[in-house]
Amino acid sequence: MEEKSFQPRTDLALEAREMFVEQNPDKKEELDGIIIKEYKHEEVKLTRVTIDEQGSERVGKNPGEYITLESHRLRDLDYHFEKQIATMLGNELERLIKNHDIHPDAKCMMVGLGNDYVTPDALGPQTVNKTYITSHLFKLYPESVDKGYRPSAAFTPGVMGLTGIETSDTIFGVVNQVKPDFIVVIDALAARSIDRVHTTIQLSDTGIHPGSGVGNDRKEVSEKTLGIPVFSIGMPTVVDAVTITSDTIDYILKHFGKELNEGDRASKSLTPAGMTFGERRELTDEDLPDDEVKEKYLGVVGALSVDEKRQLIKEVLSPIGHNLIVTPKEIDEVIDRMSTVVASGINQGLHAKINQENAKDFID
């Protein structure tokens, strides 16, 4: 029997790999085409995922390198921590550019994908508005440009629903006129885990499929289609109702498992619901109880595998139009702050003259 092709519904390479393992548990050790290296820097987890042609066929992601920066502290909207993340993003972007043998004077064009009128989709346009643009200075006043800067241009193509033009066609047209040496594309992403919304930034050298994470796949924007390197940067800002429901069920089971393992339910019986006394309670996969306990608490649903559970919820919600795309209530401030973080990282990655200390001067 021919093996069923894997179709991921996420923009994150890490999640695509996780989905493959969930749907093919017997092939967990067969991911030979994927190399994962993880690093920990204080409260930030840095993961580099390299996918070759073999790995690409397995997880449905283009061959290349995918880098993720993960930290729940991003949700704290802490300025000093955001500076740290921006610098790490800039360092990784600079490393990717060097890996592709791109000259320090090579011209970059930044593209802010998304709809500025829809807040969760406005990361791209708002980031581009905060990047440091220099191409006009190189053209009109080259003597005024210090060493340590490269020519950089930027634009926002809008979305097909507003322009009536395929986004990729707009990008191709501008590329033919501007003739940049490489492109940096910024876009809001979709995740399949509520834990990764507003906690993860992904950088890759594989280009991008606008809208693919929410089932609105547009034409690919990549080196294969444009003939020049395309780097993409994004952050998950939305999840669908299937993900929220499935994750909530898992959290319920983890909560039961943790209570059973600790054996101290009686001591907490008088604690008001939701009262954490300043301490955030972490629930991990290790807290999940065994299958017998799952079935005891949640019956047939508790006995389902992760993939079976998601499929059931999708079959229930989709026909009645309730598989909504959801975003956090504080998304306005999130987009404002995270667009600043991404723009600062891009500025540092593109221009050697800009560093963590002066990056803010090139945004405000």
Q: Cα(93)–Cα(82) distance, rounded to whole angstroms?
A: 16
Closest C-alpha among 250, 254, 235 to residue 327: 235
Res 294: pLDDT = 86
Q: Cα(132)–Cα(139) distance, rounded to whole angstroms?
A: 15
pLDDT at 352 over 60: yes
Mean confidence (pLDDT) of the chain: 84
The SS3 assignment for 111 reads strand
pLDDT at 333 over 80: yes
The percentage of the chain sitting over the pLDDT mark of 70, rounded to a whole number, equals 81
Res 26: pLDDT = 53
Q: Could you tell me the residue ranges of all domains in the chain? A: 13-242+327-362, 243-269+282-326
pLDDT band at 19 (very low <50, low <70, confident <90, very high): low
pTM of the model: 0.83
In this structure, the number of other CB atoms found within 10 A of the CB of residue 215 comes to 11
Tell me, rounded to whole angstroms, the distance of Cα 316 from its chain centroid.
Answer: 27
pLDDT band at 4 (very low <50, low <70, confident <90, very high): very low
The CATH number given to 13-242+327-362 is 3.40.50.1450
Task: Tell me which amino acid residue 17 is.
Answer: R
Residues 50-66 have pLDDT tens digits of 988 887 777 778 889 99
What is the full DSSP assignment across 165-194?
Answer: S-HHHHHHHHHHHH--SEEEEEEEEE-S-G
**CA torsion, ordered 130, 110, 222, 173, to nearest 10 deg:** 130
Question: With contact defined as beta carbons under 8 Å apart, do 123 and 81 qualify?
Answer: no
Strands 230-240 and 325-326 turn out to be antiparallel
The SS3 assignment for 118 reads coil
Task: Say which residue the tokens 């909560």 belong to.
Answer: 255
Res 170: pLDDT = 94
Q: Cα(349)–Cα(354) distance, rounded to whole angstroms?
A: 8
